[in-house]
Structure 1
Amino acid sequence: MKKLGYLVMCLLVTIAAQAQDQKEIDFVEYDLDNGLHVILHQDNSTPIVAVTMMYHVGSKNEDPQRTGFAHFFEHLLFEGSKNIDRGEYAKIVERAGGQWNANTSQDRTFYYEVLPSNRLELGLYLESERLLHAKIDSTGVETQREVVKEEKRQRYDNQPYMTFAQEIFKRAYTEHPYRWTPIGSMEDLDAATMEEFMDFYKKFYVPNNAVLSIAGDLDIDDTRELVEKYFSEIPRGTMEIPRPDVVEPAQAEEIRDVIYDDIQLPAVFHAYHMPAQGTDDYYALSMLTQVLSGGPSARLNKQLVDKQQKALQVFAFPYALENPGLFITLGITNIGITPEELESAIDAEFESVQEELITEREFQKIRNQIEVDFVSQNSRVAGVAESLADYHMYFGDANLINTEIEKFMDVTREDLKRVANKYLTKENRVVLYYLPKSENNQTQSN
């Protein structure tokens, strides 16, 4: 096993060295008169192109009485447009040999098509139609209401443990709109009127609230002409775009609760408040994640799953957001292990990084992992396009796609120990035990 670990370490060092030799990602960026920010990256190595549109609207921009709108629009805007028949959007992309999808977070909504490069113009046409001529009518709204309800049932309500984000966020936040998650409330969607849906579209789906990021097998000058053709005449939005400025009060004491779910094995969830993405402490906590949960040999898995056999699975990850987010750990108990026993074991691993510096060898390993991950996320043109849009939207600096790794590399072992002590404290966390419903029935009968 030691020899295997040494070989893995050597491989990571080699890959990291190769990563340092990667060429910078060149790009061109500019604004149209209507406020649309455009980013173009030319990579002619493969004959594909990614056309992406990112809108600076997520669940945190919603009316507290109309939650779920941002995610609902992710679905609704595939209904079609003035010039695209209902249900034809996806078929058009697939007939062209492409792929499409979209996703919504607390902070933004993202659409993309990956197409053969000779169909670049098709992608631009489709995104311009979504922005200018989206089909928002009663038929589409009613159809997508049912689609979203079914998604909630299938992905959250009927999946073991998968309500954890909703349950955690509504306890961790009392003031900030992160207190609800993107799936939102089905009651809010049912109560919404067509006027409210149109108002949301006109407010947020405007060029001055969007980034058009295109990467792949393209010619910069030709693409600029196509962008001008399809987007320059779209009018700038005139409504004020709300940006929540609520500061969540510091949590003063630990919050604990029990969720009874349709599960067989109990689980323990911890959620610690953490700073916003892009801050120095965010980078340190992200690297600390690698120490705790960065693969089979990381501390939580090695100790709790392999050695102590108290957990069937255990993970830690930063739920990083534009405003301060959460550092989440979750563990599913092994057979015969109580949640209390698992929680105590997790706490012990956290205490170990609070009390002692990690070793130099362990530190170098996680630095290598970070470098590999940084390169890997931009190994596909779709990843490049998304990263460029992210960096511009959140930080106003698309060139972070080349330089953000330096912020990780500036983190020291002392920083890891410091943030562990600063943020991973009991008074700063929400603790949820997920227990089988049968235990709740037994409690009630007693």
Structure 2
Amino acid sequence: MKKINKNLFIIFTFILISFIIISAVQAENADSDLFIPEVDYKYYSLDNGLELFVFEDHKVPIVNFSIYYDVGSIDEKKGLTGISHLLEHLMFLGTDTLNKGQISEMIKDVGGSENASTAHWRTKYYETLPSSNLELAVAIEADRMRNLNISEKEFQREKEVVIQERRMYIENDAFSSAVEEINAAAFKNTPLEHGIIGWKEDLEQITLDDIYNYYENYYVPSNAVISISGDVTGEKAYQLVKKYFGDYESKKVKKAKFKFPEQKEEKVVKIRKVTRVPYIVMFYKLPSGDNPDMEAVDFLHNILINNSTSRIIEELKQKQNILLDANAYRTSLSVPNFSRIVLIPNSEINIEKVVQGFEKELQKIIENGVSEEEIKIMKKGMTKNLILAQKNISNFSDMIIGDYIKYGRPEFYREKIERINSVTEADIIDAAKKYFNKSSRTIGYIMPKK
């Protein structure tokens, strides 16, 4: 993790505190229905297919430059898993004009910060710096798009860094390594079978030629979207992007699609690890993240699991005292998705009781529904989150760009809010029936090694 300039940190901290105070007041007075926040942005495109979104915010003289490449772990072929994340690391090691470490030094020298991240669906590089230095970020990313220059020695060294990262966060972590096995069983022969960091054996055999082929195929203008938010005008941002990226050639990028194979019976995975407590991990298959049912799935997650007053917590943790904790989340991709539910029994002897208790509470919702009060509480919680989210233009723009890359709909956030407003008891029941079936579930038991 790279350190941020002290003055920049103080400014960000002040802004965040102000937003939290304002948001708390707004959320307290919010209506039960969610409002639709107005987000003003300007959209531009270059002849080579590069697209630009500009979110103007002139409160402070700071700007964020982010470039998103429409490629992530779900685009990796067998034998090349982890290559998206590995390439992300390598992008900091130099170009034809910039030496290793020089990018970070240049951004730091002007009081800024920079970093990158890889997800299932995209790879993102970003800089936050004084708005007077925006051109520096644009020039750096334009240089990296075309002129990556990595020696075999640096490649091998960085590959070992990533392998060590995998060892630290996956292989040496009982829960993470077990979830990796359960995940692989749940999504066998699909791009979701492997995690973002990839399989160790694939990382070991990836070559520098593989990296350059991947880079040249996906790191092109027509497969990238730039987001600039902060103290800049749309026209200035456009002219800078056109200046540095405008003469790059376009290239057509093919993206593979997939479907989950049909599953007719429950998959069960049992694993023993060095852990003090057992875990139960369930995977349920879901459709595309823009499917109209997904908001109802979110409500189901929250009512069933994700709150201190949720049914699983109240019944299994507080009343029966057989559960330590639980959580649920879903992915949001343009391809098929999943819901992952984790239950943590307080003892191995209570594993079956916890599973049965979960299934009983799920069945209660299917048979008896949920209360208006439960739905109201969930909507209020989502209201507070959305009010806070829209106050941070960089975070909100990140969501808008994500929806654009995944679904081609930058205004999708409006539809999501409208869907949340319209979720009914019947929608939640239907989602529970449709997607949370035992026959299409993969369940993993992570138990303490004896």
TM-score higher than 0.5: yes
In the TM superposition, what whole-angstrom CA distance separates every residue of 1:104-137 from its partner, at most 9, and x where no partner exists? 2222112222222222222212221221212233
Matches within 5 A, 1:278-317: 278-317=290-329
Matches within 5 A, 1:1-400: 14=28, 16-17=30-31, 23-237=37-251, 240-335=252-347, 337-400=349-412
Distance 2:130 2:31 in 1: 32
Q: How many residues align?
A: 427
In the TM superposition, what whole-angstrom CA distance separates every residue of 1:24-74 from its partner, at most 9, and x where no partner exists? 111111211111111111011232211111111111211212111111112
Distance 2:125 2:396 in 1: 14
Partner of residue 443, structure 1? none
Kept after mapping to 1: 8 A contact 2:312/2:361: yes
Letter in 1 for 2:397: A
Letter in 2 for 1:143: R
Distance 1:21 1:422 in 2: 29
Partner of residue 16, structure 2? none
In the TM superposition, what whole-angstrom CA distance separates every residue of 1:304-340 from its partner, at most 9, and x where no partner exists? 2223221211111112322111111101221465322
Distance 1:99 1:262, change over 3 A: farther
SS in structure 2 of the partner of residue 35 of structure 1: coil
Distance 2:352 2:227 in 1: 48
Instruction: With the length of structure 1 as denominator, give the TM-score of the two structures.
Output: 0.90
Distance 1:98 1:358 in 2: 49
Kept after mapping to 1: 8 A contact 2:184/2:193: yes
Kept after mapping to 2: 8 A contact 1:174/1:248: no
Distance 1:287 1:55 in 2: 31
SS in structure 1 of the partner of residue 63 of structure 2: strand
Distance 2:263 2:199 in 1: 25
Letter in 1 for 2:53: I
Letter in 2 for 1:32: L
Distance 1:390 1:164, change over 3 A: farther
Instruction: With the length of structure 2 as denominator, give the TM-score of the two structures.
Output: 0.89
Distance 1:243 1:327 in 2: 24
Distance 1:50 1:292 in 2: 38
Partner of residue 3, structure 1? none
Kept after mapping to 1: 8 A contact 2:278/2:348: no
In the TM superposition, what whole-angstrom CA distance separates every residue of 1:345-379 from its partner, at most 9, and x where no partner exists? 22222222222221011111111222222333333
Distance 1:202 1:15, change over 3 A: farther
Residue range with higher mean Cα deviation, 227-236 or 250-259: 227-236
Deviation (angstroms), 1:13: 6.3
SS in structure 2 of the partner of residue 189 of structure 1: helix
Residue range with higher mean Cα deviation, 59-68 or 304-313: 304-313
In the TM superposition, what whole-angstrom CA distance separates every residue of 1:213-257 from its partner, at most 9, and x where no partner exists? 1111111221111111121122223xx533222222221100001
SS in structure 2 of the partner of residue 112 of structure 1: strand
Partner of residue 11, structure 2? none
Q: After TM superposition, which residue ranges in structure 1, 4 or more long, deviate above 6 angstroms?
A: 10-13
Partner of residue 441, structure 1? none
Letter in 2 for 1:221: E
Distance 1:185 1:220, change over 3 A: same
RMSD, aligned CA = 2.2
Distance 2:115 2:182 in 1: 27
Letter in 1 for 2:320: Q
Deviation (angstroms), 1:209: 0.5
